[in-house]
Amino acid sequence: MSKKAISMTVNGRPVEAPAEPRTLLIHYLREQLDLTGPHIGCDTGHCGACTVDLDGQSVKSCMVFAIQAEGAEVTTIEGLAQPDGRLHALQEAFREHHGLQCGYCTPGMITRAYRLLQENPDPSEQEIRYGISGNLCRCTGYQNIVRAIQAAAQNLNSVPEAAE
Amino acid sequence: MNEQTPIAERAEKLQGLGCARKRVEDARFTQGKGNYVDDIKLNGMLFGDFVRSPYGHARIKGIDKEAALAVPGVLAVITAEDLIPLNLHYMPTLAGDVQAVLAHEKVLFQSQEVAFVVATDRYAAADGVELVEVDYEELPVVVDAAKAMAADAPLLREDIKDKDEGAHGPRKHHNHIFYWDAGDLEGTQRALSQAEVVAEESIAYQRVHPCPLETCGCVASMDKVNGKLTVWGTFQAPHAVRTVASLISNIPEHNIRIVSPDIGGGFGNKVGVYPGYICAIVASIVTGQPVKWIEDRIENLSSTAFARDYHMTGKIAATKEGKITGLQCHVLADHGAFDACADPTKFPAGFFHICTGSYDIPVAYVGVDGVYTNKAPGGVAYRCSFRVTEASYFIERMIDVLARKLEMDPAELRMKNFIAREQFPYTSALGWEYDSGNYHTAMAKAMETVGYQALRTEQAANREAFVRGETRSLMGIGVAFFTEIVGAGPVKNCDILGLGMFDSCEIRVHPTGSAIARLGTISQGQGHATTFAQILASEIGLPADRITVEEGDTDTAPYGLGTYGSRSTPVAGAATAMAGRKIRAKAQMIAAYLLEVHDDDLEWEVDRFQVKGNPERFKAMSEIAFAAYNQAIPGIEPGLEAVSYYDPPNMTYPFGAYICVVDVDVDTGVTDIRRFYALDDCGTRINPMVIEGQVHGGLTEALAIAMGQEIRYDEIGNVQGASLMDFFLPTAVETPTWETDHTVTPSPHHPIGAKGVGESPNVGGVPAFSNAVVDAFAHLGLTHTQMPHDHWRVWSVAQDLGLHG
Ligand code: FES
Ligand code: FES
């Protein structure tokens, strides 16, 4: 199948790479741009391992064609830390509260939580549980993930400028 | 150096045993910098994908590759015919059977691998798969183990039809694999016939799947210039894979390098050797280019490594007062189309004969019939140690069934029959030697913490309110007390394909007081890089932060049998401690030389050797390490390294008491886990934070199994529910908040007393959920109902009991 150059902004950087019309965004990110943070855990849009941020919304990038993201702003796990390398509060909190084990769900989970906290900066436990219910984790039982997100929210709320 | 620093402070700095040390793995995982197999990209890498059988049982009359080969990017289509000259169309399984790599003459289960399409990228490979034409003739299908044993059942395995002797003794039917038994049949029958009370039940443990979030896959790269084959893949046992690969390919073992990169969860799914690995290797040899194979989720759930599918019939004998006098169990074990169970060779039913559980049962007998059906092969230990989950589910359900019959509280019945603390080491009727336990204390603590009596009172009130029509919800209380058996295992009786199940650790201490330890195991999320460094920190007195732990590369790691069956801590953890002790022994001699005293005049304290009675004179481990490399010490070789291969003298026996409270809506079948309390005793606790995380994860998997997971087949062999659309993986919403607790009963034979924990919550969790659901209806006469307790099944129970008016 013929390829066409597709361009978008990924993690603040303009990019352009060839892809077929049927190429999924997840494959475009992982294979064309070598951004292997987002993972693939299923083929039905259920696991959320591939979650990225697309124009300010959490999106399962296995459910979107790369060409649909033409011109869009995409953020992946690789784009969450500050340019100087300082980690995002969520990245710190996941480590601090043991919110990951094998790490396979982690990039999608953190990227989803990142958007959740912008939608709702002070979520209750129940709101967090619903808010991440599109992301499956097989290792942690979610309890420490919830704690990590709560801790990050608290941290971000106490230092407002750290929110972005 | 740091003379003044108090002992406690120095010990804390090491972050050794018992420290809730943060994980070193997390920095890369939280930044998307993990390196999982699908992240690997090599120059010229090709992609392989399978043509799979749409039928459960069919003869292959022809395969037409032409249209597929015409697809741009498709380079090859490999079928069994191509593998026959290499003698690779079948591969040995871990259970002494053979498994078709690519179907030869017929297919035996839906999704079986029929052809391997190799292309320049995954999309082209998928296009090729669509266009391979296979001509099938359907054959009668058997998906039920009992029906497979009928006299007129269709013959499944034509390739072994003339073999009446299998890997584990005589086969009594053309679909029979083995009969395996343990215990005293006559004595048990006598106990049953003389018993005051006998309870019987048929208990099925449905077919499920470990379903780690990352599926299986590999990248095979044959370097034709130097003859070296490298395979990166999702391997829970990389060294075993290397040996097997060498044996079947005739490539000498030193020319094979197996690497397990980061693994996205295993839970037993990644122990076996799958056709995808073999096909990728063959394709790389044929094309001279690296070949990647990554299964998708539907392929994962329908072809690699199911678990359970055990159909158990039990009888338990007791006195009227509730003293158990005997136990009998027969299992019909559905192994699917090939016997690819991952059990130690001498145990085709794994350690199922731990099924006397935590109870002092004087006599018992268990027999297991392994059977072929038109279902995917596997039979792996899904977050458990070789069929221990099945055993624990069986006995913990049987105890409840007996309690009902005796009209006794199930917790009280357990208390009455526990092996007492002073009976350890305890030899069970089926031959295991339990190392240590303190069951009464653990159970009492659990009951006290949850307020067991108050819960029962509340339940009685709930039942009365239900009768009065004030509520449509019934409350169930599930109690389970499990004993695990992990850490396979002693080489004298545990091997896989003749490889003894020891494990290993090699340590190099660097001159400036840091170290690297390499192990034969491989983490899939358990955090070995964190916890093994802690074991070592306590043994050699260097901070855990200065110890690198490396696993998974057969070119550098010492030989080991890998990570599954909770064996890493009991076996490799022990090897780590023992290797650390060798380092310390040499360090003592060096310190003695430096301090000009005799070896025996020194004592070890946290991070140093000091002169007895004169603690100001000491040498810290970091100084000793430096001396080991820069001083000529008479009679002592330079350097500071050690290696230990640890063959455990016995298994370890973790245990625990779990209590679950569930509210069941009888009109919808919806179950609400109101409370779940888990007390685990895994002996010495290396890292409480990691242990707690393991328990949370294991309980969530147990919840999934008990309440919803099932790989079901319809009559004609279609696998149902093999995608995440249907296969139940709980989200954060269905998952309750877990309450964890512990007692500590160290293992007497393990160098640091640790027993292993990763799988306990699955072993104890499943019966706790199941017992709770049954308990909700127990007063209405329900003694047992089959898992999974999804809403429909629970609703049906209520319907059958006439609760819907
Ligand atoms: S890969 Fe599972 S939802 Fe995208
Ligand atoms: S940490 Fe393994 S899937 Fe979430």
Task: Say whether both B278 and B352 belong to one domain.
Answer: no
Task: Tell me which chain B residues have a C-beta less than 8 angstroms from the C-beta of A146.
Answer: 732
CB proximity A128 to B under 8 Å: yes
Say yes or no: B608 and B711 in one domain.
Answer: no
Global confidence as pTM = 0.95
- Residues B675 and B764 reside in one and the same domain: yes
Name B270's Cβ contacts closer than 8 Å, sequence gap at least 6.
Answer: B212, B216, B234, B235, B236, B263, B305, B524
Is the omega angle on the peptide bond into residue B489 within 30 degrees of 0, that is, cis? Answer: yes
In angstroms, rounded to a whole number, what is the distance separating the alpha carbons of residues B457 and B445? 19
| Interstrand relation of B602-605 and B739-742 (parallel, antiparallel or unpaired) | unpaired
Taking the centre of ligand 1 as the mean of its atom positions, its distance from the CA of residue B375, in whole angstroms, is 27
Q: Are residues B223 and B240 in the same domain?
A: yes
Number of separate domains in chain B: 3
Q: Which ligand is nearest to the CA of A41?
A: 1
Place of tokens 């916890």: B531
Pocket test for ligand 2, best of A102, A112, A135 (most atoms within 8 A of CB): A102
Q: Give Cα A18 distance to the centre of its chain.
A: 23
Q: Would residue B196 count as lying in a domain?
A: no
**Where on the phi/psi map is residue B745: left (φ > 0), alpha (ψ -120 to 50), or beta?**
beta
Secondary structure letter of residue B55 according to DSSP: S
Cα–Cα distances in angstroms (integers) from residue B537 to residues A109, A124, B33, B51, B483, in the given order:
33, 40, 27, 50, 30
Residue B573: its pLDDT value, please? Answer: 85
DSSP H stretches of helix in B15-119: 26-30, 66-69, 80-83
* 72-111 of A, contacting B, C-beta below 8 A: 76-78, 80-81, 87, 91, 94-96, 98, 100-107, 110
Beta carbon pairs, A and B, within 8 Å: 176
What's CA B692's distance to the chain center, in Å? Answer: 18
The SS3 call for residue B574 is helix
Q: How far apart are CA B435 and CA B468, in angstroms?
A: 51
For residues B482 and B517, membership in a common domain is answered with no
Does A65 contact chain B (CB < 8 Å)? no
- Give the whole-angstrom CA distance, residue A25 versus residue B769: 40
Residue B122 with chain A: CB contacts under 8 Å = 27
Window 647-676 of B: residues touching A by CB (8 A cutoff) are none
Q: Is A62 in the pocket of ligand 1 (CB under 6 A)?
A: yes
Instruction: Give strand pairing partners of B364.
Output: B327
Residue-range domains of chain A with CATH? 4-79 (3.10.20.30), 89-158 (1.10.150.120)
Query: Does residue B2 lie in a domain region?
Result: no
Q: Which helix (H) or strand (E) holds B137?
A: strand B133-138
- pLDDT category of residue A163 using cuts at 50, 70 and 90: very low
Residues in Cβ contact with A35 at an 8 Å cutoff, skipping those fewer than 6 apart: A10, A11, A29, A76, A78, B32
Residues B88 and B219 in one domain: yes
**Atom number of ligand 2 nearest to Cα A102:** 2
Q: How far is CA B283 from the centre of its chain?
A: 31
Chain B within 8 Å of A116 (Cβ-Cβ)? no
Bridge partners of residue B318, in order along the sequence: B197, B324
User: How far apart, in whole angstroms, are the C-alpha atoms of residue B487 and residue B680?
Assistant: 17
Q: Could you tell me if B794 and B687 are in contact, meaning their C-beta atoms sit under 8 angstroms apart?
A: no
Look at residue B144 and tell me if it is in a domain: no
B33 interaction partners in chain A (CB closer than 8 Å): 37
- Of B330, B334, B333, B332, residue with least CA distance to B313: B330
B194 domain residue, yes or no? no
Nearest-CA neighbor of B732 among A43, A111, A109, A41?
A: A109
Nearest to B276 by CA among B48, B552, B77, B36: B48
Which member of A27, A49, A146 has the closest CB to residue B732? A146
Co-location of B298 and B337 in the same domain: no
Q: How far is the C-alpha of B27 from the C-alpha of B44, rounded, in Å?
A: 31
List, in order, residues 6 or more apart from B667 with CB less than 8 Å away. B472, B795, B798, B804
Are the C-beta atoms of residues B194 and B286 closer than 8 Å to each other?
Answer: no
> B589 in helix, strand or coil?
helix
Residue B433 has which token pair?
């030697």
Nearest CA to ligand 2 atom 4: A137
Please enumerate, as own/partner, the contacts of B158-165 that have beta carbons within 8 Å and a separation of 24 or more. Answer: B158/B105, B158/B106, B159/B90, B159/B98, B159/B104, B160/B98
Task: List, as one string, the DSSP characters of B445-473.
Answer: HHHHHHTHHHHHHHHHHHHHHHHTTS-SE
pLDDT at B1 (0 to 100): 44
**Cα–Cα distance, B694 to B701 (Å, whole number):** 11
Q: Ligand 2 site: residues with CB under 6 angstroms? A: A 100-106, 137-140; B 213, 265, 525
Ligand 1 atom showing the smallest separation from residue A51 Cα: 4
Bridging pattern class, strands B739-742 and B671-681: parallel
Q: Is the pLDDT of residue A88 over 70?
A: yes
Are residue B298 and residue B311 in the same domain, yes or no?
A: no
Helices (H), B407-542: 410-417, 439-450, 452-467, 528-540
Do B663 and B596 lie in a common domain? no
Cis peptide, bond prior to residue B654, ω within 30 of zero: no
Looking at B581, B611, B646, the residue that finishes a domain is B646
Q: Report, as ranges of residue numbers, the positions in chain B whose pLDDT lies below 70.
A: 1-4, 489, 563-566
pLDDT for A164 beyond 70: no
In terms of residue numbers, what domain contains B610? 7-34+503-646
Last residue of some domain: B596, B619, B646? B646
Chain B nearest-CA residue for A104:
B264
Give the CATH number for residue B548: 3.30.365.10
Helix, strand, coil abundance in chain A, percent, nearest 5: 40, 15, 45
Taking only residues 4 to 23 of chain B, the set having a beta carbon closer than 8 angstroms to any beta carbon of chain A reads 22-23
Looking up tokens 């049949």 gives: B185
Interatomic CA distance for residues B51 and B33, integer angstroms: 33
Same domain, B391 and B324: yes
A39 CA closest ligand 1 atom index? 1
Taking the CA of residue B132 and the nearest CA in chain A, the distance in Å comes to 19
- Note whether B696 contacts A44, CB cutoff 8 Å: no
Tokens of B468: 């009065």
B514 and B474 within one domain: no
- Domain-located, residue B176: no
The amino acid that residue B225 corresponds to is V
| CB proximity A67 to B under 8 Å | no
Looking at residue A160, what is its pLDDT?
A: 57
Among all residues of B, which ones are annotated catalytic? Answer: 236, 383-384, 759
Of A43, A132, A143, the CB nearest to B298: A43
CA atoms within 13 A on the CB side of B193: 6
User: Which residue from A42, A65, A105 has its CB within 8 A of the most atoms of ligand 1, so it is best to mutate?
Assistant: A42
Is there a contact between B213 and A38 if contact means CB atoms under 8 Å apart? Answer: no
B375 and B425 both lie in a single domain: yes
Which ligand 1 atom sits closest to the C-alpha of A60?
4
- CA neighbor of A145 nearest in space, from B184, B18, B730: B730
CB contact under 8 A, A47 and B213: yes
Identify the domain boundary among B303, B327, B360. B303
Distance from CA of A71 to the nearest CA of B (A): 24
pLDDT for the residue numbered B504 = 87
Environment class of B587 (CB within 10 Å of its CB; exposed 0-12, middle 13-18, buried 19+): buried
Residue B362 contacts residue B84 (beta carbons within 8 Å): no
Question: For a pocket test of ligand 1, which of A24, A47, A54, A109 has the largest count of ligand atoms closer than 8 A to its C-beta?
Answer: A47
H or E segment and range at residue B177? strand B176-183
Cα B454 from chain centroid?
36
Contact state of B32 with A37 under an 8 Å Cβ cutoff: yes
Examine residue B162 and state whether it is found in any structural domain, yes or no.
Answer: no
Q: What angle do CA B668, B670, B671 make, to 5 degrees?
A: 150
Atom of ligand 2 at shortest distance to CA of A41? 3
Residue B152 lies in a domain: no
Query: Could you tell me if the CB of A41 is within 6 A of ligand 1?
Result: yes
Q: Which residues contact B269 (CB under 8 A, 6 or more apart)?
A: B209, B210, B211, B212, B216, B300, B304, B305, B380, B382
Cα(B228) to centroid of ligand 1, in Å? 35
In the beta sheet, which residues pair with residue B609? B604, B619
Q: Which member of B27, B729, B737 has the closest CB to residue A138? A: B729
Rounded to whole angstroms, the Cα distance separating B239 from B522 reads: 10
- In whole angstroms, give the CA distance from residue B248 to residue A131: 49
**Two structure tokens written together for A157:** 């709320």
Where is B176: in which H helix or E strand? strand B176-183
CATH number at residue B245: 3.90.1170.50
Distance from C-alpha of B698 to C-alpha of B410, rounded to nearest angstrom: 24
Q: How many residues does chain A have?
A: 164
φ and ψ of B571, to 5 deg: -105, -60
Whether B657 maps to a domain, the answer reads yes
Measured CA to CA, the distance from residue B693 to residue A143 in angstroms comes to 9
